[in-house]
Amino acid sequence: MSRVCYFASDAPLKEKPNLFVKSYSINQAIAAGINLDMDILDGIDRDEPDMVLCMESEEHGEFPAIFTSQPYCEAPKSDKKYYADIGGSPCKDLSGIIEYIKDHMKKRKEENTEELELWYIWLGSDESEIIYKECSIKELTEDYLEEFFTDDENDYKIIITR
């Protein structure tokens, strides 16, 4: 089973890339001076975008990126219209996750978005076993989020309110 983390909202969610990771076509990577094993790349279109991912260290690849998505078919569904996955390890940038949440809630005030859901669950989990929590944006801290993101036993749905 896989652990997934995502937001659900009544308002569109923006994407936030991992700034430590850059993607290239094969030709762009060569032009940037990246050493590639051309034997394993034989037969691949050299101009196809996003074929090579590059980062300074392996740890940089674990920083969370947020990208819009569709609901998981194997996961409990929110009644919210918009979804965004949190890729990587959320614990690597808890302050960035909180900043994203605050930014979303502030910018969406005019759209009357009163809450944002944060799901942290195992795919295929039983919906009756999900622990539901509610937290106001003012109470949201790194310690609060870390408690959930380091708990590998339980599934959570956190409703963050204004």
Query: What per-residue confidence (pLDDT) applies to 101?
Result: 92
Q: Are residues 145 and 130 in the same domain?
A: yes
Q: Are residues 92 and 128 in the same domain?
A: yes
Q: Are residues 50 and 13 in the same domain?
A: no
Query: What per-residue confidence (pLDDT) applies to 47?
Result: 92
Place of tokens 């991912």: 53
User: What is the number of structural domains in the chain?
Assistant: 2
Dist CA 84 CA 48 (whole Å): 25
Give the distance, in angstroms, between the CA of residue 142 and the centroid of all CA atoms in the same chain. 16
Q: Are residues 76 and 153 in the same domain?
A: yes
- pTM for this one? 0.77
Q: Are residues 50 and 94 in the same domain?
A: no
Query: What per-residue confidence (pLDDT) applies to 108?
Result: 58
Q: Are residues 79 and 36 in the same domain?
A: no
Question: Which structure tokens are listed for 148?
Answer: 């959930």
Residues 9-47 as b/e (b if ≥16 CB within 10 A, e otherwise) read bbbebeebebebebebbbebbeeeeeeeeeeeeeeeeee
Query: What per-residue confidence (pLDDT) applies to 132?
Result: 93
Q: Are residues 37 and 85 in the same domain?
A: no
**What is the CB neighbour count within 10 angstroms for residue 87?**
19
Query: What per-residue confidence (pLDDT) applies to 69?
Result: 80
Dist CA 76 CA 15 (whole Å): 22
Q: Are residues 144 and 94 in the same domain?
A: yes
Q: Are residues 77 and 128 in the same domain?
A: yes
Q: Mapped to the 3 state alphabet, what secondary structure does 1-66 carry?
A: CCEEEEEEECCCCCCECCCCCEEECHHHHHHCCCCCCCCCCCCCCCCCCCCEEECCCHHHHHCCEE
Q: Are residues 156 and 101 in the same domain?
A: yes
| H or E, element range at 158 | strand 156-161
For 149, the domain range is 3-18+62-161
Dist CA 20 CA 89 (whole Å): 13
Across the chain, which has 162 residues, the per-10-residue mean pLDDT values are 86 84 85 87 87 75 79 73 89 92 78 84 84 93 93 89 85
Q: Which amino acid is at 91?
A: C
Q: Are residues 26 and 104 in the same domain?
A: no
